[in-house]
Amino acid sequence: MYPAMLRVLLSVLALCFVTGALGAAPLATLKVRYNGTLSKVDVLINTVKRGEIAPGQTISVQLPANASYTVTLRQGDLAETKTAWLASGLTRQLVFFGPNAPTEGESSTGGITVHLAGRYDWADVFLNESPQGRVIRGQARELRVKSGETYKVTVRRDGRESSVTVYIGVGGSLSKKAVHLRL
């Protein structure tokens, strides 16, 4: 009796495989276009390198649908990241205008100016969970950071916290951000 049931089960599985009843997960297409100034950048999707791309080029990648993907274009320390949700059977395009090469006179560093508001006169400051000292209400706190990166700025005191995430671009006003956090 047992071998007969096994034959039936194997027959059903084979039929499902042949007819596609156990088909692959639905797919979606992600198109990534680079309009920056670097000669080429690496394309990473969920931290896995998927190739290189040059300015004006678009690449297409088939990925499992109904999921969120983080796409990063990177060359050395310069990077830009975006996130996209891919729905089944659809095509999603992300257009990147960075990372870009710093022009002459531009620095690869940027700055975040932290302002504290609210009932506390001071709070501890964290940059990507790394302690950066204190900020005092009414006195801006300057933090030097690397351009082309995303940072989470957090202020904490007495078990309370407030956070904001900022991208520091490369060059000019893109490399400076002011954040106002209230506790």
Q: Does a structural domain hold residue 17?
A: no
pLDDT of residue 167: 87
Rounded to whole angstroms, the Cα distance separating 171 from 98 reads 11
**Could you tell me the two tokens for 182?**
């209230």
Residues 114 and 93 placed together within one structural domain of the fold: no
Identify the domain containing residue 152 by its residue range.
Answer: 109-182
Residues 97 and 114 placed together within one structural domain of the fold: no
Residues 121 and 68 placed together within one structural domain of the fold: no
Q: Does a structural domain hold residue 10?
A: no
Rounded to whole angstroms, the Cα distance separating 38 from 99 reads 7
pLDDT of residue 12: 55
The CATH number of residue 121's host domain is 2.60.40.10
Q: Does a structural domain hold residue 13?
A: no
The CATH number of residue 59's host domain is 2.60.40
Residues 143 and 163 placed together within one structural domain of the fold: yes
Q: What's the pTM value of the predicted model, to 2 decimals?
A: 0.50
pLDDT of residue 66: 95
Residues 70 and 128 placed together within one structural domain of the fold: no
Residues 61 and 123 placed together within one structural domain of the fold: no
Q: Please count the structural domains in the chain.
A: 2
pLDDT of residue 55: 92
Residues 34 and 97 placed together within one structural domain of the fold: yes
pLDDT of residue 79: 84
Domain boundary residue, one of 101, 117, 135? 101
Rounded to whole angstroms, the Cα distance separating 87 from 62 reads 12
Domain boundary residue, one of 68, 101, 134? 101
**Could you tell me the two tokens for 61?**
């990648």
Q: Does a structural domain hold residue 45?
A: yes
Q: Does a structural domain hold residue 20?
A: no
Q: Does a structural domain hold residue 41?
A: yes
**Could you tell me the two tokens for 147?**
């351009």
pLDDT of residue 52: 95
Residues 127 and 150 placed together within one structural domain of the fold: yes
Q: 31: exposed, middle or buried (C-beta count within 10 Å: 0-12, 13-18, 19+)?
A: middle
- pLDDT tens series, the chain, 183 aa: 556 655 655 555 554 454 444 557 899 999 999 998 889 999 999 999 999 999 999 999 999 999 999 999 998 878 888 999 999 999 999 998 888 776 665 557 789 999 999 999 999 999 999 999 999 999 999 999 988 788 999 999 999 999 999 988 776 666 788 999 998
